[in-house]
Amino acid sequence: MKTVGIIGLGRIGAAMAVSLERCGYLVKTVRRDQSSRHAVLSTGQEFEVITLAQAARETEVVFITTPDDAIEETARRLAEIGTKCRAVLHMSGSLSSEILDPLRKAGVMTGSLHPLQSFPTLERAIENLPGSYFTYEGDPSLIFWVSTLVERFGGILKILPSPEAKAIYHAGAVIASNYLVALAQLAIDCLAQAGFDPEDARAALLPLMKGTMNNLMSLPPGKALTGPVCRGDIGVVESHLKALRQELPEAFKAYCALAPVLARIAMQSGKITDRQYEQLLELLLRPAAGLPGLN
């Protein structure tokens, strides 16, 4: 299956179009704006623009790369047209292949293929897509083709065990990527409250964050963890809580929510004792429950 249709030419759709073309696939794109027969990306690549009906007739595989809310309607329309393509895949991280059921019932192989990667811009998307991990969930008949495609991208494919696994998988991806940005902002807020210019705070924290990422590249979380929690330094943690509760309530809540996870990691890796773990939990749950003790 070498002729591929891309429905939706946002960052992920455009990155897929470029990557597929580089791997030797014939790529055609479907977009709302039909005023031109060709779509020219900001990076200079150009792709033929066709209608949804043409995609249903002229392509062997269709990738739906629209926003999540539009996937079900797109699948329904393809089924109503009577698509002749052999397979349809969507690229949502949270939705399962079950959303493509109208096509599956029409005899089309269906699946969901998701790159475990961050795409803030088209240029970064094109750069980051090759070599990424991908997850697949759907028709087992498509696994060989999908595996070959991901291999050509230089990526690594993981097969999810069930449609229900998509939500928890995607939650993990969101925590690792989006929540990292939230943590960076909270850390910037703390340094700004301590007298840093916000831009200087970002510049100061990034090397620390990169160093931690470097540690995680070669070490499991238990060995990569540093700081007062993994030392069982309850006095330091208590001073943090007092300062944050007074100065930055939002950061205070995040600290209380995440520190028990750090304590669990520290205990399981042997860095703190069971008693230190219990003391930390007692301290952290006390403010979270609104109890006195941090005056």
The CATH number of the domain where 181 resides is what?
1.10.1040
In a domain, 201, yes or no: yes
Torsion, Cα 205 209 212 216, to 10 degrees, reads: 180
Q: CB within 8 A of 252, min separation 6: which ones?
A: 241, 244, 245, 287
Tell me the three state secondary structure of residue 112.
Answer: strand
Angle at 215 between CA 210 and CA 220, to 5 degrees: 135
Q: What is the DSSP letter of 118?
A: -
DSSP code at position 100: G
Q: Are residues 75 and 184 in the same domain?
A: no
Q: Residue 183 CB: number of other CB atoms within 10 A?
A: 15
Same domain for 151 and 234:
no
SS (H, E, C) 12-62: HHHHHHHHHHHCCCEEEEECCCCCCCEEECCCCCEEEEECHHHHHHHCCEE
Two tokens, residue 264: 């669990």
Check: CB of residue 183 under 8 Å from CB of residue 253: no
Task: Please identify, among 163, 191, 218, the residue that sits at the C-terminal boundary of a domain.
Answer: 163
What is the predicted pLDDT for the residue at 292?
47
Q: Is residue 243 within 8 Å of 201, Cβ to Cβ?
A: no
H/E element holding 168?
helix 165-193
Residue 293: the pLDDT is 52
240 and 152 share a domain? Answer: no
The total number of structural domains in the chain stands at 2
| Whole-number pLDDT of residue 2 | 85
Specify whether 254 is located in the same domain as 203. yes
Q: What single DSSP character describes residue 61? A: E
DSSP string, 271-285: SS-HHHHHHHHHHHH
Q: Choose one of 163, 183, 205: the last residue of a domain.
A: 163
Q: Which of 121, 138, 163 is the last residue of a domain?
A: 163
Clarify whether residues 156 and 47 are in a common domain: yes
CA dihedral 97, 102, 106, 111 (to 10 degrees): -10
Both 110 and 210 in a single domain?
Answer: no
Domain that holds residue 245: 169-288
Which 8-state DSSP code applies to residue 163? T
Could you tell me which residues are beta bridge partners of residue 138? 111
Torsion of CA 159, 163, 164, 167, to 10 degrees: 70
Per-residue pLDDT at 129: 82
Q: How far is CA 33 from CA 4, 28, 36, 295, in A?
A: 19, 14, 7, 61
**Tokens matching residue 74:** 């797109």
Do 41 and 108 fall within a single domain?
yes
| Residue 295 forms part of a structural domain | no
Same domain as 103, residue 183:
no
On whether both 184 and 218 belong to a single domain, the answer is yes
Residues 159 and 176 in one domain: no
pLDDT tens digits in sequence order for the chain, 295 residues long: 789 999 988 888 988 898 899 889 999 998 766 666 777 776 777 788 889 998 998 899 999 999 999 999 999 999 998 888 899 999 999 999 999 999 999 999 999 999 998 887 878 888 888 889 999 999 999 999 999 999 998 999 999 999 999 999 999 999 999 999 999 999 999 999 999 999 999 999 999 999 999 999 999 999 999 999 999 999 999 999 999 999 999 999 999 999 999 999 999 999 999 999 999 999 988 755 454 455 4
Name the nearest CA neighbour of 265 among 217, 202, 209, 223: 223
